[in-house]
């Protein structure tokens, strides 16, 4: 059965109670989880599963795209954990919060790069200490990215509250601005999770974000790489 994904409803949930559905070696499946798996170009959460006095370090979290089951891989080879056990999940919050700030910053950057330079994102990865975004852009000038990052910092400083909400496909098709997202969603998906940065960006998106762009901090350009014809990779971090 699909794992209930608690982070979709609350990115600030740091601890949660769950029941073990399955244990296979050092891999644990829970009925619900606040651990964000490695998906959508955002690194996975780390943290702990706690049973009584014993804490088990979570070293990797993955999701099966077809079944939507989340696997928590533990550091310990043998755990004594069993199906039906009640455990507490604890998210490594410092790491998660860095991922949330960088991921939200990526929205701002993608928006300005498209609006002002017609550059489309072709890939990306948010890790804990830095993020990278790939753009389809013929120009290699550093000034383009410096300009974008400067504008992104101005946007972040406006302290815009993010809106996160769920729409059925039918509802989504009636909302201007969301229609395009709804048309792109695969038919088996019944519901869209919309992440809106009012006045800036609107996406269908399953990742964790900060509540307010003021939490992002200062976006810093690290470097730009030329990845071939029209492919430019931007590395950035937040401070
Ligand atoms: Zn996002």
**pLDDT value, residue 78:** 87
Residue 194 alpha carbon to ligand 1 centre in Å = 9
**pLDDT value, residue 194:** 93
Residue 107 alpha carbon to ligand 1 centre in Å = 6
**pLDDT value, residue 173:** 85
Residue 206 alpha carbon to ligand 1 centre in Å = 7
Q: Which residues of the chain have pLDDT under 70?
A: none
**pLDDT value, residue 33:** 98
Residue 29 alpha carbon to ligand 1 centre in Å = 25
Residue 51 alpha carbon to ligand 1 centre in Å = 32
Span 176-202, pLDDT tens digits? 778 877 787 777 778 899 999 999 999
Residue 208 CA to residue 14 CA, distance in Å, equals 12
Residue 165 alpha carbon to ligand 1 centre in Å = 13
Residue 187 alpha carbon to ligand 1 centre in Å = 21
């Amino acid at each position: 059965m699909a794992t209930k994904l608690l982070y979709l409803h609350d990115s600030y949930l740091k601890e949660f109670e769950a029941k073990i559905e399955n244990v296979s070696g050092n891999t644990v499946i829970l009925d619900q989880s606040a651990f964000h798996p490695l998906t959508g170009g955002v690194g996975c959460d780390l943290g702990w599963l706690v049973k009584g006095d014993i804490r088990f370090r979570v070293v990797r979290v993955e999701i099966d795209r077809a079944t939507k089951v989340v696997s928590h891989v533990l550091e310990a080879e043998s755990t004594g954990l069993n199906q039906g056990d009640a455990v507490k999940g604890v998210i490594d919050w410092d790491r998660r919060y860095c991922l949330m700030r960088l991921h939200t910053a990526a929205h701002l950057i993608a928006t300005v790069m498209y609006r002002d330079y017609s550059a489309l994102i072709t890939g990306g990865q948010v890790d804990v200490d830095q993020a990278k975004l790939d753009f389809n852009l013929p120009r290699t000038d550093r000034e383009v990215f410096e300009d974008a990052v400067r504008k992104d910092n101005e946007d972040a400083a406006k302290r815009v509250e993010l809106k996160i909400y769920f729409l059925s496909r039918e509802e989504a098709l009636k909302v201007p601005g969301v229609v395009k997202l709804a048309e792109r969603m695969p038919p088996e998906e019944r519901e869209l999770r919309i992440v809106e940065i009012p006045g800036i960006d609107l996406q269908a998106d399953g990742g964790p974000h900060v509540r307010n762009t003021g939490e992002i901090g200062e976006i810093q350009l690290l470097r730009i790489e030329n990845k071939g014809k029209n492919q430019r990779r931007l590395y950035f971090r937040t401070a």
